[in-house]
Structure formats: C-alpha cells, structure tokens
C-alpha cells in the first residue's frame, strides 16, 4: 500500500504576525489604507464624550473596517460578524485583535445614519482621483430587496382594523375550544401551549390597533390610500419577477467606465419615477456637462423628461412603447413560453379581455379625407384642424345607422351600452405635441446611435447588482426604517467601490 504523510489537526500554538495577513493588492489592504490614511472620520469621533470619564470605546475606524470586511465576505448578521472577529485571523488582523460583541456591531451600523454619506463621497473622490470614473455615461437602475418586515402585516387602515378583529376572534375560538375539552393526559402541556398562542394573538391585535391609532394613512399623489406596514411603515409591497415582497427599491447610479457606483439611495415605493432627479443630483460631484444619463422605462415620465430638457442634461430614458417601435422585437412573442394551465388563476369560463379597436386599426386616407372602420363602414368628417394636447388632428364620426346595429360594438366602443357611435381622431404625422421633450426623447432613443448607447446600460448596472446580491449575499435588508436601510445599502456600495480601488492598485 502507498504511504502518505500524516494529517494532524490537533490543537497547537502557531506564531501569527497579524500585520503580515493584510497583503497588498487585496480588498482588506485597500480598506485598511483608506480608513487609516484617506478618510476623515472626525464626525464619528465626535459622538464620544469619554475623554476624562466613562469606559473606553471601540475605535469607530476599527468598527468600520470590521463591518465592511464582513459585508465583503457575505457576513450580514452581527452574530456572524462577532464569530468572525473571534475565530478568523483576517478579522483579527484588520481590527488589531479587537473582539466587539454583536450588540456593539449592531449598534454601530444602526447609529451611522447620515454620517455614511460623507464617507461614501470621500471614497468616490478617491475613485475619481485614481481615474476610475470616466463620466461618459451613468446608468441608473434599482433592485427590489425584501425588508425586515412581514407582508402579512400590511394593509390599509381599514384592512388592519379588520385583521385585528380576526386575531381577537381566533384567540376567542381557542379559549372556547379549551373550555369545551375534557381534562386528560397531557392537559397541562396543552393548556400552556394554548395560553401562549392566545397571548400571542392578543398581543398582535393590540399592536395593530395601536399602530392604526398612532399613524395617519399613507397617500399617493392622487390622494388614494396606500398600504401601511405595522413592522416597517417605510417599506412597501412590491411586485417582482418572483412574486410580491415587502421591501425597498435600492437605487444605484453606475459609471460605465469601471462600474463605480456614483450615487446610491433607497425608496420605499415600487415606483421609481421620483428617484431619477435625486439620483442625478447626488452624482453631481462627478458628473460632467457631457455625461449621458440612461435609465429604463420605470423612470420615464413627462415631468422627468421635461426637467432633464430644461437643465440641459443629455439623457436616454426609455418609454413603455420603446420595444414596440423597435423592429428587432417584432417577433418576440414566439419566444415566450405558453401559459401553464396549472397556474392560470382566472375563474373557469372567464375569457380574455377584449382589445378595443385603436386609431391605427382604421384606414385613413388624407388625400381623399376618408376614414374606414374595421367593419368596413365609412365615417364622416366631424372636424378638421382640431387641437388636442397641442397637436393638430382630423376628427371622424360614425353614423347611427352603421354603428348601432354593428356586430363589432363590443370591440369598438368602451361603453357600448350608453355610447351610440364611434369617434376617432387622426393626428398629423411629424408634429410635436404638448410633451415635445418626450417626443424628442423617443426620436433620440429610436435612432441607431441612441439604440447603441442605450444598449450599454444593462451591461453597466446589472453586473453591479449581481456582485452585491450573489457574491456579497445581500438577499434582504436586516434593519428597519428608510434611514437605517439606506445606511446598510451605502455600506454595501462602499464595499463595491473599495473593491474597484483594490483592483486598480493591484494592476498598477
């Protein structure tokens, strides 16, 4: 038989030089150098007032190194970071063998607050000084991540009051069931278990009622009531590709040269339109006059496009009809999988909604000033050179004799039971309407150069989210409240940018 050298894993004393564990060119080396020599942490020092009295505190520089190193290794919870400080040689080296408890770590992250933004800006200036920011194009996008809250505790104030009543009713049923049961073997354990369940239900109902009484309803721009959450009212229900989550939309603006994050923020709303201009404003320190801003259709609105036009900011913001105008997506339907009948949630016998006839379904001949409907009936002219939203059009109206007995009324009229005839407006081509900046944006993004530039957006920003979500294991936020969640998101963005600095110095 072959002979091998023995493998011995018994305990032993090994000499370890902690300073030798931080090797040049690594993330921890760049982190250690940045925190000790380039970042101004006087704002963190100002939080302590134990110069003459009081116990000594952990150095905030050490705490910042520990948290950022842990996030770079995929350690999120404070207990796992505490174990790393006690067992991992690299954590011992970066912290000088400090071993803060998980409560100290959680308190440090929780109380950073607005002080994280100056640190993010300082690291961003270091990236700019090293030439990592090209400022040719900034791609803005967001990723929806679950919050530290349950979506079952969400609802309008009326729904939450109804939920509290249901919880009290469930607790009452358990009490009645317990009273009706005969005593027997194991009754004491069963009674304790039921009593704990009843107390939990009653406590949940009480917390829900107190929340409804202490908070005012959340409203959208139109005045409609939004769903609130008892656990984290700053979060919101959001639809994702894998279902509905209770969470936040983490925003990032990424430079196209080296994928450096130049701006970061979080939003407690599924709509991203309101985040476009604030993200551009946050990146103003490194943005140039020629910097192109790109964003997907979630950020598109007439107000945003008009604001960009007024400020003279070059941008390519996709609208919801961009792909329908692109001939490259003309046959995209054939690539979509057929719906699974097992997951068809429609009631049995319910038909697909009927698509109404649109103006493009009518045959309009400007030379003869005629218009033919899809049923083959001729419409008469009811107005020429009419203005709608600043655009000139020609109106046509169907006759009562043709529209009333028509068999296509269900497909032609939105309310066939009370509308007798169909009216259609044919707009003249090549004219700018009330939203001229939007029309100019559509022309720019539909051009060959616009498609080429916009195509670089997804390759710029999506790898950043992949790095944070997969490599750094950021699958959910562990804090509550928008301020604390924003702090945690900025810390992860700091990790990403410091990695870029480490790679740059390794190449040089």
CATH number at residue 246: 3.30.420
> Using CA atoms, how far apart are residues 487 and 146, in angstroms rounded to an integer?
16
| Rounded (10°) CA dihedral 267, 268, 269, 273 | -20
**pLDDT at residue 350 greater than cutoff 70:** no
Position 433 scores a pLDDT of 56
Which of the pair, 341 or 87, is modelled with greater confidence? 87
Residues 244 and 142 placed together within one structural domain of the fold: yes
Residue with tokens 């721009």: 221
Residues 141 and 262 placed together within one structural domain of the fold: yes
**pLDDT at residue 351 greater than cutoff 70:** no
Residue 406 domain flag: yes
Best mean pLDDT range from 62-76, 186-200, 371-385, 423-437: 62-76
> Using CA atoms, how far apart are residues 178 and 172, in angstroms rounded to an integer?
10
* Coil, helix or strand at residue 135: coil
Residue 202 domain flag: yes
CB count, 10 Å around CB of 416? 16
Position 334 scores a pLDDT of 64
Residues 143 and 180 placed together within one structural domain of the fold: no
Could you tell me whether strands 154-155 and 228-229 are parallel, antiparallel, or unpaired per DSSP bridges? antiparallel
Q: What is the DSSP string of 172-215?
A: HHHHHHHHHSPP-TTHHHHHHHHHHHHHHHHHHHHHHHHHHHHS
**pLDDT at residue 219 greater than cutoff 90:** no
Residues 211 and 247 placed together within one structural domain of the fold: no
**pLDDT at residue 186 greater than cutoff 70:** no
* Residue-wise burial string across 156-186, b where 16 or more C-beta atoms lie within 10 A, e elsewhere: bbeebbebbeebbeebeeeeeeeeeeeeeee
Residues 64 and 84 placed together within one structural domain of the fold: yes
> Using CA atoms, how far apart are residues 402 and 293, in angstroms rounded to an integer?
51
Residues 304 and 447 placed together within one structural domain of the fold: yes
Predicted confidence band of residue 337 (pLDDT cuts 50, 70, 90)? low
Predicted confidence band of residue 53 (pLDDT cuts 50, 70, 90)? confident
Give me the mean pLDDT over the 246-261 stretch: 95
Cβ(380)–Cβ(423) under 8 Å?
Answer: no
Residue 170 domain flag: yes
Which of the pair, 238 or 335, is modelled with greater confidence? 238
Residue 494 domain flag: no
Give me the mean pLDDT over the 240-248 stretch: 88
pTM: 0.82
Domain count, the chain: 4
Instruction: Identify the sign of the CA torsion 251, 253, 259, 262.
Output: negative
Residues 314 and 458 placed together within one structural domain of the fold: yes
Cβ(75)–Cβ(81) under 8 Å?
Answer: yes
Residue 508 domain flag: no
Residues 323 and 239 placed together within one structural domain of the fold: yes
Residue 348 domain flag: no
Residue 196 domain flag: yes
Q: Token pair for residue 180?
A: 């009706």
> Using CA atoms, how far apart are residues 160 and 139, in angstroms rounded to an integer?
39
Residues 22 and 91 placed together within one structural domain of the fold: yes
Domain range for 163 is 157-216
Q: What is the pLDDT of residues 288-331, one digit of tens each?
A: 999 999 999 999 998 999 999 999 999 999 998 888 787 777 66
Residues 106 and 42 placed together within one structural domain of the fold: yes
Give me the mean pLDDT over the 468-472 stretch: 95
Residues 184 and 296 placed together within one structural domain of the fold: no
Q: Token pair for residue 156?
A: 């309008």
Longest Cα–Cα distance of the chain, Å, equals: 102
Residues 141 and 243 placed together within one structural domain of the fold: yes
- What mean pLDDT value characterizes the chain? 88
> Using CA atoms, how far apart are residues 162 and 166, in angstroms rounded to an integer?
6
Question: Running DSSP on this structure, what letter comes out for residue 352?
Answer: P
Residue 223 domain flag: no
Which of the pair, 221 or 68, is modelled with greater confidence? 68
Position 188 scores a pLDDT of 47
Best mean pLDDT range from 240-254, 436-450, 482-496: 482-496
């Amino acid at each position: 038989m072959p002979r091998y050298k023995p493998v011995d894993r018994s305990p032993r004393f090994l000499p370890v030089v902690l300073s030798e564990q931080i090797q040049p060119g690594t993330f921890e080396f760049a982190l250690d150098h940045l925190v000790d020599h380039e970042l101004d942490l006087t704002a963190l020092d100002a939080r302590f007032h134990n110069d003459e009295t009081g116990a000594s505190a952990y150095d905030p520089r050490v705490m910042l190194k520990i948290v950022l190193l842990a996030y770079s290794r995929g350690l999120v919870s404070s207990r796992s970071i505490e174990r790393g400080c006690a067992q991992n040689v690299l954590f011992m080296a970066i912290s000088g063998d400090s071993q803060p408890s998980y409560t100290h770590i959680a308190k440090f992250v929780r109380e950073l607050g607005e002080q994280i933004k100056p640190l993010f800006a300082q690291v961003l200036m270091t990236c700019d000084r090293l030439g990592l920011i090209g400022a040719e194009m900034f791609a803005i996008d967001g990723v929806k991540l679950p919050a530290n809250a349950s979506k079952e505790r969400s609802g309008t104030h009326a729904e939450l009051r109804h939920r509290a009543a249901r919880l009290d009713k469930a607790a009452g049923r358990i009490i009645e069931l317990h009273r009706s049961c005969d005593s027997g073997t194991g009754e004491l354990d069963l009674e304790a278990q039921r009593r704990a369940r009843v107390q939990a239900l009653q406590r949940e109902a009480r917390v829900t009622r107190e929340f409804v009484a202490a908070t005012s309803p959340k409203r959208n721009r139109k005045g409609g009531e939004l769903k609130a959450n008892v656990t984290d009212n700053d979060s919101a229900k959001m639809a994702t590709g894998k279902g509905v989550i209770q969470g936040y939309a983490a925003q990032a603006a990424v430079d196209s040269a080296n994928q450096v994050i130049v701006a970061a923020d979080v939003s407690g709303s599924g709509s991203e339109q309101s985040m476009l201009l604030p993200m551009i404003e946050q990146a103003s320190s490194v943005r140039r006059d020629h910097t192109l801003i790109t964003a997907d259709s979630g950020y598109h609105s007439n107000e945003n496009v008009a604001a960009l036009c007024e400020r003279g900011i070059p941008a390519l913001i996709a609208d919801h009809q961009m792909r329908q105008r692109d001939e490259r997506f003309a046959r995209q339907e054939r690539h979509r999988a057929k719906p699974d009948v097992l997951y068809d949630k429609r009631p049995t016998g319910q038909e697909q909604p009927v698509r109404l006839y649109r103006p493009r379904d009518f045959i309009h001949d400007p030379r003869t000033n005629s218009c033919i409907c899809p049923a083959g009936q001729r419409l008469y002219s009811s107005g020429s050179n009419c203005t709608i939203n600043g655009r000139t059009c020609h109106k046509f109206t169907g006759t009562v004799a043709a529209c009333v007995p028509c068999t296509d009324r269900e497909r032609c009229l939105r309310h066939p039971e009370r509308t007798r005839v169909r009216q259609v407006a044919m707009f003249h081509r090549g004219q700018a309407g009330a939203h001229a900046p939007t029309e100019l944006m559509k022309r720019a993004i539909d051009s060959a150069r616009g498609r080429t530039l916009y195509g670089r957006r997804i390759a710029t920003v999506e790898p950043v989210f992949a790095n944070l979500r997969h490599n750094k294991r950021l699958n959910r936020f562990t804090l509550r409240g928008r301020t604390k969640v924003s702090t945690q998101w900025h810390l992860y963005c700091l990790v990403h940018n410091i990695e870029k600095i480490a790679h740059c110095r390794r190449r040089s």
